[in-house]
Structure 1
């Protein structure tokens, strides 16, 4: 099934007026209106809240365990049925899907800022560039001083590139986005096939010592259990802040932002462009009918879930062979992962339209409005819990039990975000980012009801 067909509204549907700013009346979420004044979209805020909460569920393994555990459950985290079951649930439903949803929403929000500035007669490109340059700085601080898993620098660089496509219409953006994701998939597929050939070569009867050594080094880096790199990583992150900082700034790690950009930049750009398209065609702002969202969700889950389950079973049947698991997680799941992003979004939007006044939904939307603070806040909190300069729990908590910390993180996000926004216009870091990007201190006073 083509994503372009799946995400294109039918002629005459509410989304046919997709290029106009919108909101919904009290009976729903959005109604067509003039471009001024600007309106917050409950759908975007709630989806962003779901995404930032989901990203914690995705990142918790990297906060609490050696990096190979993120891919391969045998690398670390326990091998009980509960531990392996949590890996399977994360792989099928969460891993890559929440980051994908966040990327869609980043593209959509970026477009709202650009279009809003231009509607006021300002330079959308200039304002966008300032925002992205400051986001790069935040990202580098996050990466080197707090946690190695930063995505802000990646988003800032890709966001600058995405501006060049911001004036295209929804169909063109969809085509370009899907094309970029497919190009990224081909790149990863070549890498995955190369790993398979390396494995076969190392296991051949006439394999040289060099082939075997290269293969062992490779699998040690992608998820083989009980390897020297794993124990070295545990030693580092159970150490002092000075030790962890020295590791972050080591020559082998200093180019991490560029490596991440090269490996994931095309897919991230593709997702941002799709997010722009889904803003322009009304999908993300709730302009489609509930039946349309349900239809998209059902068809996308039917296309995405069976292959994801099959890949999970393939990993299990292989005994979580490092090469097989690497390929399943990072390569062959790519097209189905993107379909699952759309499925999750469509399902969430159908629920949002059904219960727009839900108290829980309003709290999730508030968490989404301060997603920047919540994202960086969870990094600070989780590293303090797991790293040696805090409670030192790194590598000590099983995969199943570590999700208890996720539930606590979610509870904190839902607890503080809404009361804060009832008093203030922005989250703390949102205010700082906005003030820096605009070159003057912004008022924190809330001037209008939520």
Structure 2
């Protein structure tokens, strides 16, 4: 067994000032890019589209070619990809924290556990009082696993990451062959008509609590939490191999990931998206296996392609207005993530627009939300170095 990699300050911090600056700017831009994608995905929940019965969608929310177009593009380019990227970023963030551990945190494990518990509390408050789909709770708990892996060799981390990403597919194969499956049932039985009725009657807290339990049950049974863990580890691995620094090796890997995304992941994503519109003639069980296979390859491949694109074009993007916007959004990622759901709640719950706004108009509203967040981020960063939630998190963690 090979000796574990020693991630002490000397072995990690052998980077030039230029490399360190480039890494941080590229990562900030990637965070900003991920936040936009997260909003495009979550706004289908905020607006009530995904919690509405098919009849309501057809009558009110998806009635024009523009509505259908944005739904198709969201399914193809957004769904799944950005929570993968966001998970990747948390793993990369762990790498950055741990790389500075000896100089800043004498007892890193104790500090990190405290940090994750505070994040878990923030996530629970967010989920209970603002939006049931909060991801921070899961990130806080799953992130603790990285403490057990912090001294693993990069190649072992990569293998474990890929294994976790493939595990949901393997579980589906086991279920198909031997009818063995994980099927926990603790959430209240409900359907979209009941949920929509609760929201429309102003019983938001009841509906939100039910959706929170339904979401937790679905995340466990679907294996989504394993995928999140896999992308956490992938982010840590990419940090170890210094993916965001300028080097011939990093550039070559970035190009290969972009090519794979375009030539393999995107076409498979088109086939998977087509399953929402066409019946390919598979049996129910085979259709599940095929969709899971297409999902893991297309979503993972496109996510890594997006990541590679931002890393590869980092120098160019830094000189553009769009790049500076992304970097600004990415400097306050936690605050902006929570702010998105607050604004979504105000628009669709506060103004009674839940399940009332057609899809194309919903996405026009999402652009307004991004503009508002960008303005607030610019103004806040003129006075402070980090966002309010980030600053609170750091102060409490110590």
Superposition TM-score, scaled by structure 1 size: 0.74
Please give the residue correspondences for 1:177-216 in structure 2 after superposition, counting only pairs within 5 Å.
Answer: 177-188=161-172
Gap change, CA 1:293 and 1:182, over 3 Å in 2? same
Determine if the alignment matches structure 1 residue 338 to structure 2 residue 300. yes
Please give the residue correspondences for 1:144-183 in structure 2 after superposition, counting only pairs within 5 Å.
Answer: 144-183=128-167
- 1:24 deviates by 5.6
- 1:69 deviates by 6.1
Query: SS where residue 275 of structure 2 aligns?
Result: helix
Q: 1:236 aligns with which of 198, 219, 243?
A: 198
Quick check: which one's helix share is greater? 2
Question: C-alpha distance in 2, partners of 1:276/1:70?
Answer: 40
State the Cα deviation string for residues 53-77 of structure 1 (Å, max 9, x = none).
1100110101112535699976973
Determine if the alignment matches structure 1 residue 302 to structure 2 residue 263. yes
Q: Which residue of 2 aligns with 1:22?
A: 15
Structure with max Cα Rg: 1
Is contact 2:254–2:308 with CA below 8 Å preserved after alignment? yes
Determine if the alignment matches structure 1 residue 45 to structure 2 residue 38. no
Is contact 2:258–2:306 with CA below 8 Å preserved after alignment? yes
- 1:167 deviates by 1.7
Please give the residue correspondences for 1:64-75 in structure 2 after superposition, counting only pairs within 5 Å.
Answer: 64-67=47-50
Query: SS where residue 61 of structure 2 aligns?
Result: coil
Q: 1:63 aligns with which of 46, 50, 53?
A: 46
Is contact 1:135–1:153 with CA below 8 Å preserved after alignment? yes
- Structure 1: stretches of 5+ with no match in the other structure: 1-16, 32-37, 196-220, 222-227, 439-450
Number of aligned residue pairs: 376
Q: Which residue of 2 aligns with 1:266?
A: 226
Gap change, CA 1:192 and 1:433, over 3 Å in 2? farther
Superposition TM-score, scaled by structure 2 size: 0.83
Q: 2:205 aligns with which of 221, 242, 245?
A: 245
Question: C-alpha distance in 2, partners of 1:437/1:101?
Answer: 25
Question: C-alpha distance in 1, partners of 2:173/2:61?
Answer: 28
Gap change, CA 1:245 and 1:152, over 3 Å in 2? same
Considering only aligned residues, what root-mean-square deviation do their CA atoms show, in Å? Answer: 3.4
Q: Which residue of 1 aligns with 2:370?
A: 410
Is contact 2:165–2:226 with CA below 8 Å preserved after alignment? yes
- 1:191 deviates by 6.5
Q: 2:396 aligns with which of 420, 436, 449?
A: 436
State the Cα deviation string for residues 237-265 of structure 1 (Å, max 9, x = none).
2333xx21133345x85575465355421
Please give the residue correspondences for 1:359-370 in structure 2 after superposition, counting only pairs within 5 Å.
Answer: 359-370=321-332
Q: Which residue of 2 aligns with 1:386?
A: 348
Is contact 1:363–1:417 with CA below 8 Å preserved after alignment? no
- Structure 2: stretches of 5+ with no match in the other structure: 1-9, 180-188
Q: Which residue of 2 aligns with 1:316?
A: 277
Question: C-alpha distance in 2, partners of 1:370/1:429?
Answer: 8
- 1:281 deviates by 0.7
- 1:285 deviates by 4.2
Gap change, CA 1:384 and 1:188, over 3 Å in 2? farther
Q: Which residue of 2 aligns with 1:92?
A: 76
Determine if the alignment matches structure 1 residue 134 to structure 2 residue 118. yes
